[in-house]
Amino acid sequence: MLDRLDSLVAELVDRFGKDRRATTPSKLLAETFREERLKPSQQKKVKERFHGILAHQHLIDAALERCTPGGAMARSLVAPTRILLGRVLIGDLQPGEARRILEWVDWNRVANLREELRDIEDPIQRTALRGSLPGWMAHRLVKEFGDEVDDLVTGLVSKAPVTIRANLIRGDREALADRLRTEENVETRPTPHALQGLEVLTPARLFRTEIYAKGWFEMQDEASQLIAEISAPPPGGKVFDACAGAGGKTLALASILQGKGEVLAADSYVPRLKDLQTRCRRAAAHNVRSRHVREEEWTEEVTDFARDADRILVDVPCTGLGSLRRNPDIRWKVDEKTASRLRGVQEQLLERAVAHLKPRARAIYATCTVLRDENEAVVEAILARHPELEIVSIVEILGGERGRPLADPSGRFLRALPHRHGTDGFFCAVLRRVAG
């Protein structure tokens, strides 16, 4: 009933369902790709289908209820039927093709199920169903986005583009695009918002290319790239990445500085910093240092650097709702209690950063969530306690033509959203200490 790729997807879904707290979709995919000899195009299909099934669980349940004949279904048919329903819902399989595999499903109705569900009057129920979201997430999104929530949810469950960032230490995106096309037969196009971003249009094992091995690019969502641009480090300046993680934004900052100045990356998790060191060597980012810190406080060395830094980037831990299309398991790994705890962490981290700003230096607060409580509310709380701080507007930093479409109505904050900009959901605010 299922071909090889669909069978792999069914196996992945089953494994994740049994152990979702101890693993991630990315880990399961990596294991499968190591075990199976799949072409790049096949890996791409497996990943898209697997993520699609995870992102549409509630919709698949609704399709089983509404679009299949009544009565109990043979147990052996449930899993393969769910895989096929998921593929039609994400647009990976046409109704006519699905009908040739299973005749007794109303596949045209499956394909149009989202539109049918728009008629559900309760917006929270509708949002939870269309986005396969837990109730608390649906409630918050409806409260904050109102009539726009249907489009937002569609964006959050859509297929994410493959985007990379050119490393300016090696060459700009035009040179990178030319090398990918001529050496690897990979077609790309410039991202509309990030200046050094490329969307990859051809399935390819990018991480196995010589171009990647020589540090010409990094995989990075376009909105994430924008955070580094908005940080706008001055030529030869000092930048402190206070929550570096594996260092995607650290490397983007080093790229903007083109190997000059200094970038200090700090994180509380040692394995991530080791990964960053490897990536820095590949990218020839010799102006980057990394330091391990405890969550509760910085070391004396790190504190001294922060006090002298021109920019402090605080890319805080968050619910990650803006990256749902890349991380569908967020639905199960984040709950209201987690969200409440994170709010306290976010405020604490930004408070620590602004306390160390020298006059005219900037703190850049960033998240990959779309919830106001983690974004504007955190910034407003800090501003209320620190009259010596002022907002530097995104429109001022990026310029009116680039900045206005990406900013909130006030023009102060970056508010990138999947249904408006084609990016993951990101927020960014820039705070500057007034000279005194």
Q: Are residues 286 and 385 in the same domain?
A: yes
Supply 190's token pair.
């410039």
Domain boundary among 182, 201, 219: 219
Looking at residue 147, the DSSP 8-state letter turns out to be G
The DSSP letter of residue 162 is: E
Q: Both 150 and 188 in a single domain?
A: no
User: Model confidence over 221-232: pLDDT tens digits?
Assistant: 999 999 999 999
- Please answer whether residues 357 and 433 qualify as being in contact, where contact means their C-beta atoms are separated by less than 8 angstroms: yes
Shared domain check, 274 and 228: yes
Angle at which helices 149-156 and 135-145 pack, to 10 degrees? 130
Instruction: Using the predicted structure, report yes or no on whether residue 72 has a pLDDT greater than 70.
Output: no
* Residues listed for the chain: 436
Answer yes or no: do 325 and 352 share one domain.
yes
Query: For the domain that residue 175 is a member of, what is the CATH number?
Result: 3.30.70.1170
Verify that 250 and 391 share a domain, yes or no: yes
Per-residue pLDDT for 271 more than 80?
A: yes
Do 237 and 364 sit in the same domain of this protein? yes
Same-domain check for residues 364 and 269: yes
pLDDT above 90 for 75:
no
The 8-class DSSP code of residue 390 comes to: E
Shared-domain flag, residues 241 and 321: yes
Cα 80 to its chain centre, rounded Å, is 29
Order the strands of the 162-166 sheet from edge to edge.
Answer: 188-190, 197-200, 162-166, 217-219
111: which 2 tokens?
Answer: 């394909």
- Do 281 and 386 reside in the same domain of the chain? yes
Radius of gyration of the chain (CA): 23
For residues 191 and 166, is the Cβ–Cβ distance under 8 A? no
**Stronger pLDDT, 254 or 37, i.e. the higher one:** 254
Determine the pLDDT at residue 71: 58
Both 399 and 358 in a single domain?
yes
Which CATH number covers residue 257? 3.40.50.150
Number of domains, the chain: 4
Of 109, 139, 157, which closes a domain? Answer: 157
Looking from the CA of 236 toward its CB, the CA atoms found within 13 Å total 0
H-helix or E-strand containing 231?
helix 222-231
**What HEC string does 372-425 produce?**
HHHCHHHHHHHHHHCCCEEEECHHHHHCHHHHHHHECCCCCCEEECHHHHCCCC
Dihedral (Cα; 54, 58, 61, 62), 10-degree rounding = -140
**Same-domain status, 31 and 178:** no
Q: What is the pLDDT of residues 336-378, one digit of tens each?
A: 999 999 999 999 999 999 999 999 999 999 999 999 999 999 9
CATH of the domain at 8: 1.10.940
Q: Structural domain of residue 277, as residue ranges? A: 222-433
CB 431 within 8 A of CB 228: no
Residues 384 and 276 in one domain: yes
DSSP 39: -
